[in-house]
Amino acid sequence: MSSTATLIDDFGLLSAQIAELEAKKKAIRDQLVALGEGAHEGTFYRVTISKSVRCTLDMEAVREKLSRQFIQANTRETDVITVKAGARNNINVQEAA
């Protein structure tokens, strides 16, 4: 197995493990939220549960009201690198160098 294949498989395995841990974390989080707001003590850790309001701008409505030029002039571009892993299915597989 090539080092690229090993690297890809390691990344995929870690991604799968993280997904499983995130699911467990969410289940525990839901139980903690049921305790209500405030600070709650464990033996080694403390959690603080608080409630707040998040405001979200409806970009579709903004685009309807503002000109294309205004939006373009006030839009900031940022380079983003995304790496995703999934189980192999041999569809559109690019051979490792």
- Span 24-70, pLDDT tens digits: 999 999 999 999 999 998 888 898 999 999 999 999 999 899 998 99
Q: Do the Cβ atoms of 49 and 32 come closer than 8 Å? A: yes
- Looking at residue 81, its amino acid is I
3-state secondary structure of 72: helix
**More confident of the two residues 5 and 96:** 5
Q: Which residue has the tokens 């900031």?
A: 76
**How large a percentage of the chain has pLDDT more than 70?**
86
Q: Please, what is the average pLDDT of the chain?
A: 87
* Secondary structure class of 4 (helix, strand, coil): helix
pLDDT band of residue 2 (cuts 50, 70, 90) is confident
The Cα 28–Cα 34 span in angstroms is 10
Contact between residue 89 and residue 12 where contact means Cβ atoms under 8 Å apart = no
CA dist 48 and 37 (Å) reads 7
